Structure 1
Amino acid sequence: MAEEKVSQKKGEMSRNDLRRLRRLDLLELLLAEREENERLREEMRQQEIKMQELKCKLEDRRICISKAGSMAEAALALNHIFEDADAAAKQFLDSIREKTEDCSNKN
């Protein structure tokens, strides 16, 4: 008897119930199941498309974060270059001032 029962989830029928139905009723049940199956496949396809879009957005954000880190590193490197250039310019100006003062003192 247990073999005669299809699982008794909501909306399911026992094998005996199915045997009592006419062919037309069985075909209608089959058609309804097919339509539900197609609807679920379409819903799954839409979810897969959405998932791909979200994966692309996530990858774009990762790239932006990576670039932001690279840009910050580049800015720090440039900052050090400018500091070194500023120090070299000050040293050069100090050297020029010393030479100018030496020339002024000699005259």
Structure 2
Amino acid sequence: MVSVREERRPTTYVGYKNAVRLYIVPGLGRRRPRRLTAAHVRAFRVGVRERCFYCVHGLDVRCPEKDRCCSFGRCCRRRPSPRLVQYIYQVLRNGLAAAQR
């Protein structure tokens, strides 16, 4: 569960939830915070920055074949923006700090 102050807007909750659901849990697996090392976090951050969002989440499978951007072994190479990578890392960092407290 994501820890967010009560005075935040509902959209903040949605943003944190999506970062956890789409990136953090699939990227780090179900590792417990006590078992998480700096190497795991570094590899996670590089992985988020380097992987294509469509390929990782299998989004093209739902699209009609003519509309797919990643198909037939080709990848569109759409990477998350640097700001999105920073945001995901911030959510992870805040969650780990809350777990540590």
| Pair in the same fold by TM > 0.5 | no
Structure possessing the higher radius of gyration over alpha carbons: 1
Q: Which has the higher contact order (CA 8 A, sep 6+)?
A: 2
| Superposition TM-score tier, normalisation by shorter sequence | under 0.3
**Higher helix proportion, which one?**
1
TM-score by length of 2: 0.26
